[in-house]
Chains A and B, each alone.
Chain A
């Protein structure tokens, strides 16, 4: 059974800091990995999708990497801003027809 872990559960950083959010998964036979952002009381917004054949994806100040062999992904946020404060969820898909398995998320607070 696939398990996804995100540690720590919460993180507080000063504005401007570059930061890395970690995600680990137990079954390396994944189809893809997706990072989401969730603001309080809101839905999930997809940030980056990495297919199993890819090593990284970039969007603006965000960069996500994938190392299937070690069962790890990182989300790098450059020059963090207070508007980046949210919960960041990592999810892996094992097989084309199978479900997403989610981590419990990292709640990020960026202090002005």
Chain B
């Protein structure tokens, strides 16, 4: 099993550009989520989904969009990148009933 796969691993964007961070899992997990990790701030939830067609906001949703058209995929879209979105982004998934999370290896994003 590949687990949770994130692409790309690294990305540099210019302010105002848009991009999509990809996340895919092959464990048939219902729950998927996106976190950002910043020095001194820890891991903060951006958006999450409890199943295909259902998404909701986390702590820091502004500037990000998500959709969940399939169980496997949960892309994160930055519509107009800002330097404040420079961060490391992690995608995670879990079964709702068992509750243990599996994390992807992360995407390191720099906005200049």
Using a CB–CB cutoff of 8 Å, the interface residues on chain A facing chain B are 31-32, 34, 36, 42-46, 49, 51, 89, 91, 93, 96-97, 99-100, 102-105
Contacts and interface: CB of A to CB of B under 8 A. Distances in A.
B99 A42 contact: no
Interface residues of B, number: 21
Contacts, number: 50
Interface in B16-72: 31, 33, 40, 42-43, 45, 48, 50, 58
B42 A32 contact: no
A96 B94 CA distance: 10
B75 interface: no
Contacts of B40: 104
A46 B100 contact: yes
Contact of A105 (B42, B99, B101, B102): B42
A104 B42 contact: yes
Contact of B103 (A44, A49, A51): A44
